[in-house]
């Protein structure tokens, strides 16, 4: 099972430093956080994009996905959202990333209206994504935390360049079992994000296996070639332990055989 590390866990660290940490501690790829103040962002020049791609190649790492903050179901006009999708798709392609993470962000209005917005926008960019060799991955998050909610969008888009990113914490907090989420998302699944927390009221990142999330139950459902990414949400929890010392044990935990519970 190939393992990726989200650069969210080392905010502000230059890409070369994040790549070195991942390569030295048993990780096969990086999920690249795309945000202001990070090494990867939409305003990168062509030269910066080529340099970033070379850094990843030099460390033998797969750029699993570009982790954007685009909200495909967000209220408002379509054009700003589809423009942002296209900008991020081109950046993902330039970096060699096969996936582009997006959020739903459907807001507090009627779910049906949010779904319609997301389906319309995703359908508009799907063919461009296919041409670029990048798959748009809608994360189980915010207004669509459950796998069934995301699967409903994807069934309507019905395009191979649009799929799902399973964030285990959000589906668990939405009340889904790993088996239930997997059944909904399996036809669309890009990769899985794992993390661990003490509980729904304390989401401070913990070492993998030290909290309440059913990581092992999730892993047992996945095929051997499925990518699993550790997303350690350091920016939102400054009191969390630094991630780098946890990396060897985290890789070992994910790589270990997980027996059925009970």
Q: Tell me, which fold does domain 3-255 have in CATH?
A: TIM Barrel (3.20.20)
- b or e along 51-76 (b: 16 or more beta carbons within 10 Å of the residue's beta carbon)? ebeebbeebebbbbbbbbebbbbbee
What pLDDT is attached to residue 261?
44
What pTM did the predictor assign?
A: 0.96
Question: Could you write out the DSSP letters of every residue in 29-97?
Answer: EEEEE-STTSS--TT--HHHHHHHHHHHHHTT-EEEEEEEEEETT-SS-HHHHHHHHHHHHHHHHHHT-
pLDDT over 80 (residue 15) = yes
In sequence order, the 6+-apart residues with CB closer than 8 A to the CB of 157 are 119, 122, 123, 126
Confidence of residue 258 (pLDDT cuts 50, 70, 90): low
135-174 pLDDT per residue, tens: 999 999 999 999 999 999 999 999 999 999 999 999 999 9
* Summary mean pLDDT of the chain: 96
| pLDDT greater than 80 at residue 214 | yes
Model pLDDT, residue 23: 97
d(CA 189, CA 124): 20
Handedness of CA 47, 38, 74, 139 (dihedral sign): positive
**Domain residues of the chain, as ranges?**
3-255
Three-state DSSP state, 141: strand
pLDDT of residue 154: 98
Residues 64-96 have pLDDT tens digits of: 999 999 999 999 999 999 999 999 999 999 999
Token digits of residue 201: 């009221």
pLDDT at 257 over 90: no
Provide the pLDDT for residue 19.
98
User: What average pLDDT does this structure show over 15-22?
Assistant: 97
Tokens of 227: 């990518």
Beta strand ranges found along the chain (DSSP E) = 3-6, 29-33, 62-71, 99-103, 135-139, 162-167, 189-194, 228-230
Q: What is the pLDDT of residue 112?
A: 96
d(CA 86, CA 217): 36
Give the model confidence (pLDDT) of 93-125 as tens digits.
999 999 999 999 999 999 999 999 999 999 999
pLDDT in tens, 164-194: 999 999 999 999 999 999 999 999 999 999 9
Q: Are strands 3-6 and 228-230 parallel, antiparallel or unpaired?
A: parallel
Q: Are strands 189-194 and 99-103 parallel, antiparallel or unpaired?
A: unpaired
Q: Measured between alpha carbons, how far is residue 144 from residues 88, 129, 139, 212, 236 in Å? A: 21, 22, 8, 21, 21
Q: Are 18 and 45 in contact, with CB atoms under 8 Å apart?
A: no
> Residue 185: its pLDDT value, please?
98
Rounded distance between C-alpha atoms, residue 174 and residue 137, angstroms: 19
For the chain, the first-to-last Cα distance in angstroms comes to 24
Burial class (CB in 10 A: 0-12, 13-18, 19+), 245: exposed
Q: Give yes or no for residue 255 having a pLDDT over 70.
A: yes
């Amino acid at each position: 099972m190939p393992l990726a590390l989200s650069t969210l866990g080392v905010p502000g660290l230059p890409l070369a430093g994040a790549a070195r940490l991942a390569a030295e501690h048993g990780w096969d790829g990086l999920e690249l956080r795309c945000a202001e103040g990070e090494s990867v962002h939409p305003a990168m020049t062509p030269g910066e994009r080529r340099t970033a791609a070379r850094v990843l190649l030099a460390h033998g790492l797969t750029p699993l996905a570009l982790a954007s903050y685009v909200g495909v179901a967000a209220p408002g006009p379509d054009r700003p959202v589809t423009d942002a999708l296209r900008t991020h798709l081109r950046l993902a392609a330039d970096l060699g990333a096969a996936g582009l993470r997006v959020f739903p962000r459907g807001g507090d209005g009627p779910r049906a209206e949010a779904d319609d917005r997301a389906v319309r926008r995703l359908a508009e960019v799907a063919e461009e994504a296919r041409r670029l060799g990048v798959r748009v991955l809608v994360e189980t998050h915010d207004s669509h935390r459950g796998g069934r909610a995301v699967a409903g969008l994807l069934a309507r888009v019905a395009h191979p360049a649009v799929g799902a990113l399973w964030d285990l914490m959000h589906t668990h907090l939405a009340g889904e079992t790993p088996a239930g989420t997997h059944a909904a998302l399996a036809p669309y699944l890009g990769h899985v994000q794992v993390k661990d927390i003490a509980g729904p009221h304390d989401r401070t990142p913990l070492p993998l296996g030290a909290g309440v999330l059913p990581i092992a139950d999730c892993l047992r459902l996945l095929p051997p070639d499925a990518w699993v990414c550790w997303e350690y949400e350091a920016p939102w929890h400054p009191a969390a332990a630094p991630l780098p010392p946890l990396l060897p044990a985290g890789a070992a935990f994910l790589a270990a055989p997980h027996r059925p519970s009970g």
